Amino acid sequence: MALALQTFPTVKDANAALKAPGTRYLGGGTLVVRAANEGDVLVFGLVRSTDPALTAITVADRKVRVGASVTMAAIARHPELAILAKAARAVGGPAIRNMATVGGNLFAPAPYGDFAVALLALDAMVGTEDGELPIETFLAKRDGSRSIVTSVGFTLPKADGFRFLKVSRVKPKGVSVLSIAAVLEQAADGTVSSARIALGCMADRPMRAKATEKALEGKKLDQNGIAAALAAATEGIAPVTDPIASAWYRAEVLPVHLGRLLLA
């Protein structure tokens, strides 16, 4: 294996080095080093930056900024990010969580990317040296992305306004059959005033369930209220087939799990 790693103190210099062909950024390495171990010869250069801003978490006035090199374990134990702990703990086992970064999760292909599903529901902004992009746009363009993600930013929802669920066959740690994250706001009478729902494993990358979101608005979170939303759940999905589950199975069980999440 001929993999050469270059380390730079600044993101700027690392970005410049990343322009060389066959070069990728090294986050926690759980995907990119694995690919090299498996014989992926398309990547022969790795670049990383040790800029301390990349590992910083700041929370001020419910506005959160998480550096791209922050690990799942660091999120799971951060007292002010308690509502995200479940999504961070959904990623791999303990050793993987000590290595897997937020930045890397944004690039992880299905069935991975559970934390990115949470970030999509949070409507996070993804930061690079060139500025910020809404996560939905970022995910759509990520294959052509050549700049280092430096941070993600989002507003913390109210504790009861964020829901996350991951379904896996192996407990307590297993790869996703699917994952769902929802940010729900409810009016005083209990009807949904706004809903953002993101799905994992329902395409090659996390996607928004826009038809479901629309069908929920103005509805109560009870059996009758969510019926139209569940009927719309499979609209626009193209689930992945892999050794964990077939596309057919994923589509069949999506409304069941979405229903459980909404009624929880």
Partner 1 sequence: MAKIPVQFTLNGSEKAEFIDSGTTLLNALRDKIGDTSPKGGCHQGTCGACSVIIDGELRLSCLTLAETCNGAAITTTSGLAEGGVLHPLQRAFLDTFATQCGFCTPGMIMAAKVLLEHTPNPSRDEVVEALSGNICRCTGYEPIIQAVLAAARANSQNAA
Residues making contact with ligand FAD (CB under 6 A): 24-32, 34, 68, 91-92, 96, 99-101, 103-105, 107-108, 112-115, 148-149, 175
Q: State CA 42 to chain mean position distance.
A: 25
CB nearer to ligand FAD: pick between 149 and 182 = 149
Contact call for residue 93 and partner 1 (CB under 8 A) = yes
C-beta of 109 vs 190, nearer to ligand FAD: 109
Contact call for residue 124 and partner 1 (CB under 8 A): no
How many residues form the binding site for partner 1 (CB under 8 A)? 27
For residue 130, give both structure tokens.
């060139």
Return the residue of 16, 20, 41, 95 that touches partner 1, per CB under 8 A.
Answer: 95
> How far apart are alpha carbons 256 and 169 in whole angstroms?
15
Residues in 173-192 at the binding interface with partner 1, rule: CB under 8 A: 173
66 is an interface residue for partner 1 by CB under 8 A: no
- Residue 139 or 215: which CB sits closer to ligand FAD? 139
CB of 61: closest distance to ligand FAD in angstroms? 25
Instruction: For the CB of residue 163, give the shortest distance to ligand FAD in the complex, in Å.
Output: 17
Asked if 57 interacts with partner 1 (CB under 8 A), we say no
**112 touches, from ligand FAD, partner 1, none (C-beta below 5 to 8 Å by class):** ligand FAD
Nearer to ligand FAD, 6 or 191 (CB): 6
Told to check if 108 binds partner 1 by CB under 8 A, we report no
128 strand-pairing partners: 131, 149
Please tell me whether residue 167 binds partner 1 under the rule CB under 8 A: no
Cβ neighbours of 263 (radius 10 Å): 11
Interface ranges with partner 1 (CB under 8 A):
1-5, 7, 26, 28-30, 33-34, 36-38, 46, 48, 73, 92-96, 98-99, 172-173
